[in-house]
Structure 1
Amino acid sequence: MPLPEPMSFPLSTYEPLALVKVHTHDATPISAHRLLHALFGIPPAEYRLLLLLMQGHHVKECAQQLGVSQETTRTQLKSLFRRTQTSRQSQLIDLVRKLTYGHMD
């Protein structure tokens, strides 16, 4: 079954949610990027930033590694917060770890 369109409703207005992945033993696992894109609409550039944040890099380091300005990185981070209904990096990272079981690709 395909994943749903990116979530367009605020998480805070609903009861707690659970993500259940059911697949056959021979099914190809869904990538973390595809899952996060399906749930939150996270585009590739923001996903690359998220990968670096998950590795413990600071925003300045992320900007340098991605070859973009710190302002671009801050803008992308704000977009990640908005998409995931989080407000701090620690909340964002905790949410992503829970959804991906810590397996980022």
Structure 2
Amino acid sequence: MLLDLDAHLEPSPFMLRRMFGLTMAETRLALKMARGEVPLDVARSSHLSRSTVRSQLSALFAKTQTKRQAELVTLLTRIAVLP
């Protein structure tokens, strides 16, 4: 498989929901995290409270069996290259 390393790869929202049972809100957060956004910026741009984003992030960690943001983003990047 050849990959363009300059391309920004993003996992499929459908794939994330199917693999991990994510809600739409959790899927949106996961995609924003995969794009490099940080939770505080997500809260501001989405007009959500920080506690709401933290709660969604905690659910993402639990459902993906990750413990840190870097670990979650690494997982999402790996999923993005799946066919």
Place the TM-score, normalised by the shorter chain, in its bin. Answer: 0.7 to 0.9
Match of 2:66 among 80, 86, 90: 86
The Cα shift of 1:84 comes to 0.3
The TM-score normalised by the length of structure 1 is: 0.64
| Counterpart position of 1:10 | none
Higher-RCO chain (CA-CA 8 Å, sequence separation at least 6): 2
Tell me which stretches of 4 or more aligned residues in structure 1 moved more than 3 Å: none
Gapped regions of structure 2 (runs ≥ 5): 1-10
Question: 1 or 2, which has the higher helix percentage?
Answer: 2
Which residue does 1:67 correspond to in 2? 47
TM-score (norm 2): 0.79
Q: Residue 82 of structure 1 aligns to which amino acid in structure 2?
A: A
Aligned to 2:22: 42
Deviations 1:1-57 (A, max 9, x none): xxxxxxxxxxxxxxxxxxxxxxxxxxxxxx711111111001111111112111211
RMSD: 1.6
1:14-25 alignment to 2 at 5 Å? none
Indicate which of 58, 65, 83 corresponds to 2:38.
58
Identity rate, percent: 33
